[in-house]
Structure formats: structure tokens, C-alpha cells
Amino acid sequence: MLDASLPGPEYFVVSLTVSNTAARPKITATIDGEDGIGIDELSSTTRRLIRQIDEAYGEEAAYNLEVTTPGADQPLTDPRQYARHAGRTLALKLADGRELEGTLEETTPEGLLLTEVVKEKNKKKTLPTALFPFADISEARVVISFK
């Protein structure tokens, strides 16, 4: 139902959770777009999803619905999320346990081209750009800088 509610093919589902801890189940749908997503797209997705839930379960179904975008502090989970962050600093955790930080140069169908920055003896050293396959990345976050 959520996929059918998206406003276009450039939008995608990041996550969908249903928690049943309250009197009403809470449905949280996190969606994003290749170039981000605006409030109008969130609103139209919410309206379409409500209509579909009402048609499937009746208008008397009791639930709380939240349709949102990933926050700035949320990890990137879909390869389509990376492209718009080109030029920004990413912090990666790799499947082998390594952690690194560097500038996202570009994305490819296979993974990320990242220019890693390492600290050596109180200096920063920039390593050559390397490809990090999506399959090797266990977590990626945009580093928020207030400089």
C-alpha cells in the first residue's frame, strides 16, 4: 500500500514500522526521494495511504499514522540516498569492523567513491579515492558540521 501511495517513481520507502505498544497501533512510514522530498509530497502520500488503509480495513480502523523523511542524523540505508550527498563528508562503518570518514566523490551502481581522510601525527592525510561496495557498508551517516 505504501509503495502505491508514493507520488512518483523517484520516491522510495526507507522503512516501515508498526508498533503495537499503545491502545492504537502506530504506523511509521519513512520515505525519501532521489533529490529529497518536500512537504507536498509527504502530504499527498499520507492522504493516499489513509485512503488505501480505509478501503482495506474500513474507516473504523484505529491507528496512528506518521509519514516522515529520514532525519539528518539517520543513517543512509538505500543506495539512492547517496547521490545527493556528493561533496559531503560521510562516516562509514564497514562489515569488517573498520570505521572511516571521507568525502563522497560520487556513487556508482556498485558503491561509493570516497576520498578518505585519516589523522597521522596531528595532521590530516587524504588518501586516494577508493570504491567501497554497498555490500561492504554496514552503516553510513552524513557528518553534520557546524563550522
What is residue 106's predicted lDDT score, i.e. its pLDDT?
Answer: 94
142 grid coordinates: 552524513
Domain assignments of the chain as residue spans, ordered by start: 2-68, 79-142
pLDDT at residue 24, rounded to an integer: 84
**CATH code for the structural domain at 2-68:** 3.30.300.70
Architecture of the domain made up of 79-142: Roll (2.30)
Are the C-beta atoms of 85 and 102 separated by less than 8 Å? no
pLDDT of residue 44: 94
pTM of the model: 0.76
Q: Please give the chain's pLDDT, 147 residues, in tens.
A: 999 999 999 999 999 999 887 678 899 999 999 888 999 999 999 999 999 999 998 878 888 999 999 888 889 988 999 988 999 999 999 999 999 999 999 999 999 999 998 888 888 888 999 999 999 999 999 998 877
Residue 85 zone, left/alpha/beta (φ > 0; ψ -120 to 50; rest)? alpha
